[in-house]
Structure 1
Amino acid sequence: MSEVPGLVAVAVVTVATLAIGTWGLRFSRTTSDFFVASRSVRPRLNASAIAGEYLSAASFLGAAGLLLTFGADMLWYPVGWTAGYLVLMVLVAAPLRRSGAYTLPDFAEARLDSRRVRQVCSLLVVAIGWLYLAPQFEGAGLTLAAAIGAPRWVGPLVVGLVVLVNVGSGGMRSITFVQAFQYWLKLTALLVPAAVLLVVWAGDGASGQSVTADDWSLPVGDGGGLGLYTTYSLILATFLGTMGLPHVVVRFYTNPDGRAARRTTLAVLALLGAFYLLPPIYVALGRAYGADPTAADTLVLELPRLVAPGVVGDVLTGLVTAGAFAAFLSTASGLAIAVSGVLTQDVTSRRLAGITAFRVAGVVAVLVPLSAALLLPDFGVARAVGLAFAVAASTFCPLLVLGIWWRRLTAAGAVAGLLVGGAGSMAAVALTLADVTTRGWVDVLLAQPAAWSVPLAFATMVGGSLLTARRAPAHAHRFMVRLHTPETVDLDRS
């Protein structure tokens, strides 16, 4: 009986996702619909869709798990994930939309007039997308195992198949409606159980269930310099990594204009802020009711039955399971769209045409990280996502900031910065995920590379560009005028 609500929840979310995606197929007729929804998505709908795809397994399950294990210092994760959109709104959103590009490689090639820059960017988009996709599949396996007792491989397969159907059927146009629906489902799936469990906790007050101040004072690391470095590196990765995530950036190309892109980002800040108020409630209740810290990633799923055993707990578990499953589907769909777009333009379109090339690329975009999740489980949902942020912050953040705001950036400088930042952060990712044994500062620097890899990438891009100043693109000035001029101004007549 306890498994029935979870089964029903997964079935309902899957059917609803496919139904909405199929309905959205009616509006997907052109290649532009598949890539960027023909740049016609309005701010409210787009904000819900962005929030839906952004709130991944790391947000729905991982944030509470980190708080339970390490204490309140881990609030920097949700704070950074949200604040990253503030940086994105101020520095990138509107100019990026005005660039007229479909993908990050498109922007890089248009800004720097270089195929080599495009090729490096394409490799990085695929690498970051796959690094972010793998934990979504792992989280799906954890969810179905905890909720209905299914083998760990079932969740990744179900999510992979649903994503393939939705991405292949309607592309960005179809996925926009699905992700907007899934944001509100995820918010409801955390909000309603939290409210009910707080009422139960209040009724249990006489039994001594409480949270002490000591429960919230656990440090990030061992204290001292190590803990301080880790905190600052985490802040840098989450604040600056958002603008480099391919599935986030591609959604800003779907806005009608730069003003709509800024309004969308402002709405996203409000939606994410509302959602991230909820995970700490689950952690506080988990500490009060003795949740197992070694099973931190499944805290949100197991807490309802721990606090309210019986029918109420089973029903609330089903609702939370629905939200978690929606998180995997929405984020995986957004990432698959972003990676598919790059693969289509740079790989499959050489042999196939139009929508067929996009669909073949979608299969590749999903199958590679799905295989990794099945063959290499237990690498930690939040940790893998955090490392993806570090790689994005060390590569695309410098490229976008300098490409939009510094006219003297050259292709040689950009390539050098991308390679240095990418190689440094990805080496740290590989060693961390492989559990290579190190000690002291070496371990800390590898576990959180952003504090050294981001400044290194910026310095390399600036230095490389200054050394190759004569090779600056001839059209750089006019292109930057286009990036920073509102659409209401007619450049051809001015």
Structure 2
Amino acid sequence: MNATIWSLSAIVAVAAVTFLLGYVGSRKANTTPDFLVARRAIPATRNAAAISGEYLSAASFLGVAGLVLKDGIDALWYPIGFTAGYLALLLFVAAPLRRSGAYTLPDFAEARLGSANVRHFSTFFVVCIGVLYLVPQLQSAGLTLTTITGLPAWFGGLIVTVIVVINVLGGGMRAITLVQAFQYWGKLFAIAAPTFVLFVVFLASPDRGTQPISDEGVVRFPQAEKITVAEQVIKVRVDEPLTLKVRGEIDGREADGKVFWGRGVYELSPGTVMEFAAGSPVPVVEGSPTTNHDWTRPQTGGISDLLRTYSLIFATFLGTMGLPHVLVRFYTNPDGKAARRTALHVLYLLGLFYIFPTVLGVLSRLYLPQLLVNGKTDAAVLMLPSTMVPNLGGQILGAIVAAGAFAAFLSTSSGLVVSVAGVVSTDIMPGKVRDFRWATVFTGLVAIGLALLLPRSDASLTVAMSFALAASTFCPLLVLGIWWRGLTWVGAVCGLVVGGGMVITAQVISVVSSYTGRWAPTVFTQPALITVPIAFMTMIVVSKATRRRAPADVNQILLRLHAPDPLGFIRDRDIARFGTAEEKARQADDKRRGASRTR
């Protein structure tokens, strides 16, 4: 009970600070540019902290450690990919994107290709990526609150949705920038401080509460464990025979008492309770390494694992430059140089953060092997402090971790809601502040509805699918649009439809498979290795076949994207809709001077 009180107090404190900073940031937010791009006045260092706070989602705070616990060294590709993606963004996208003067990603697509059609398709995929990314944030919030308090899983997602929607309604991008910058440093402290303490505890008594792990041996329970299967069917693999007590269903048959498990795979129904004796080998969720030998060595699953790893690399390395909620923050920089500096700062901020969940994942292998049975490895970061330090210190560390996890849900969800609401309000609705607020409420309702309906999987795996969708749609659109003058709007639309359609189809098949026995091959859970090259090739081939559809002013457009900032080619788009009175007057003067020169 004391641990629950400490954790709830920390979560309430995070929520209160979030509301306070949101209010401070929104006091001067009253125009559409304030809500969409914070009046393009965010310094590089603050923007980098805000991007890092927004980017470090549930997949980073909880999911990375859970994947290291379950998959071992192969899971390190996730933090590597999440970070290295900013190198590609720094080199190819950040500065030209800011110089375009666009307000949203669809706005950039129309500015570059001169077609409203490509803008409409871009809007659709921005909404798909944003909502698909939001769902694991809300589901992980439910997992966190359930782990801490035992409350229903839907309650945590609902709380995060309400807080985020209220904050975004107050001031949009201007309100959440200060919140996200603060939350990065809060999350860094919440993951770093417990990691240092727990690692010292491990070094002081490495044998307390753990079983020695040999290079070849299986993981064993350090003490007797009672494990209940949660809300969905799971399959576990046994490599070393064991005897246990079971009350529930195994492979569709009732069991109540001692059972013997030989080598093989067993299907467990929801509600099944298992009791393991101390020293028993740990069954693991099917698809994960069953021995420490496999856990500490990469690519032990053969060619299928190798292809999945390359697909993950494609998704994370290239998907980062296509994530709408990341790209929209570069529109808030004053100029292209500041955008490039922002991306550079983000690289070392993320690299620093990802050291700590990796260490916690390794410690969880020693202290929390029971999570390998029920598949709830995302809870490792939350459970580890109280397991390793079962006293007041562990309760305080657990509260700090819970606060950091809650900050992760809030900051990422805020950025996603702003990016989706901004696109919906400007591309589907008239684009006024009132429209932005209605779009915010709509986005929140759709996201929480899907979070309650869809099955929960590892947060990092779900987020990786969002990366695959971004890599297969906006990555080729941005790279070719910025660096190849031959791209046409017809080619761009075809590439978006083909690449995005293949990823969405794979996601639907993967969800159906999860309900019907998990029969789909692994390529459907991470299809980027196939979909990204096809999307690039589609855009190139169709653009060459429709080269007459290229914008007549493509040379001037590319000059504006690549010219150094001091030359003054940067011009905001949609000043007639969103600009201040001074900007509109300046635009009118420019038009008059241009007309007089032509005469």
Query: TM-score range with shorter-chain normalisation?
Result: over 0.9
Contact 1:85 1:265 in 2 (8 A): yes
5 Å-filtered alignment, 1:387-466, equals 387-435=465-513, 443-466=521-544
Q: CA deviation at 1:55?
A: 0.3
1:436-491: CA deviations, max 9, x gaps? 56999x61221210001000000000000000011111011110011000110145
**What is the aligned counterpart of 1:224 among 289, 299, 302?**
302
- Per-residue CA deviation, residues 134-171 of structure 1 (Å, 9 max, x unaligned), is 11000100000111222111101110010011100011
**Cα distance, 1:220 vs. partner?**
7.0
- Inter-CA distance 490–51: structure 2 relative to 1 (3 Å threshold): closer
Name the aligned partner's letter for residue 389 of structure 1: F
Q: Rate the CA distance shift 1:313–1:329 in 2: closer, same or farther, 3 A.
A: same
**Which whole-Å CA distance do the structure 1 matches of 2:213 and 2:335 have between them?**
48
Report whether the alignment pairs 1:241 with 2:319: yes
TM-score, length-scaled by structure 2: 0.79
Compare the two structures and name the one with the higher strand fraction: 2
SS at match of 2:151: coil
Report what 1:16 is aligned to: 17
**Residues 3 and 399, structure 2, Cα contact 8 Å, conserved in 1:** no
For 1:134, the equivalent position in structure 2 comes to 135
Whether the 8 Å CA contact 1:70–1:220 is kept in 2: the answer is: no
Contact 2:97 2:561 in 1 (8 A): yes
Is 1:167 paired with 2:248? no
2:392 aligned residue (304, 311, 325)? 311
Residues in 2 aligned to 1:251 and 1:422: alpha-carbon distance in whole angstroms:
23
Rounded Cα–Cα distance in structure 1 between residues aligned with 2:72 and 2:215? 10
Indicate yes or no: 2:471 matched with 1:375: no
CA separation of 1:211 and 1:334: change in aligned 2, threshold 3 A: farther
Once residues 439 and 60 of structure 1 are traced to their aligned partners in structure 2, the CA distance between those partners, rounded to angstroms, is 27
Report the structure, 1 or 2, having the larger helix content.
1
User: Structure 1, unaligned stretches of length 5 or more?
Assistant: none
Contact 2:110/2:119 (8 A) holds in 1:
yes
- Hey, what does 1:330 align to over in structure 2? 411
SS of equivalent residue, structure 1 residue 100: coil
Instruction: Report SS of the residue matched to 1:153.
Output: helix
Q: Which of 277, 281, 291 lines up with 2:355 in the alignment?
A: 277
- Deviation of 1:424 (Å): 0.5
Residue pair 1:94, 1:261 contacting (<8 A) in 2 also: yes
Equivalent pair of 1:27/1:174 in contact (CA under 8 Å)? no
Partner SS state of residue 282, structure 1? helix
Structure 1 residues 59-70: aligned runs within 5 Å: 59-70=60-71
5 Å-filtered alignment, 1:167-316, equals 167-205=168-206, 207=208, 213=215, 215=292, 217-218=294-295, 223-291=301-369, 292-293=371-372, 294-316=375-397
The question of whether the paired residues in 2 share the 8 Å contact of 1:413 and 1:464 is answered with yes
CA separation in 2, counterparts of 1:396 and 1:171? 23
Residue in 1 that maps onto 2:29: 28
Q: Cα deviation per residue 1:187-238 (whole Å; 9 max; x = unaligned)?
A: 0000111111111111213547666556374367762211110111100100
Q: Does 1:340 align with 2:421?
A: yes
Which residue of structure 2 aligns with residue 470 of structure 1? 548
Partner Cα separation in structure 2 for residue 444 and residue 290 of structure 1: 27
SS at match of 1:28: coil
Distance 1:76 1:380 in 2: 15
Name the counterpart of 2:125: 124
- Provide the rounded CA distance (Å) in 1 between the counterparts of 2:451 and 2:419: 19
> Which stretch of structure 1 is more off in the superposition, 429-438 or 112-121?
429-438
Taking only the aligned residue pairs, the percentage that are identical comes to: 51
Q: Matched residue pairs, number?
A: 489
- Matched residues in 1 for 2:298 and 2:424: separation? 38
- Tell me, what secondary structure is at the counterpart of 2:376? helix
Whole-angstrom CA distance in 1 between matches of 2:479 and 2:25: 34
Where 2:521 maps in the other structure, the secondary structure is helix
Alignment of 1:343-362 (within 5 A): 343-349=424-430, 354-362=432-440
Aligned-residue offset at 1:295 = 2.1
- The separation in 2 between residues aligned to 1:10 and 1:216, in whole angstroms, is 39
Which consecutive unaligned segments of at least 5 residues does structure 2 have?
217-291, 571-593, 595-599
In terms of mean alpha carbon deviation, does 221-230 or 460-469 score higher? 221-230
> 2: CA distance between counterparts of 1:216 and 1:222?
9
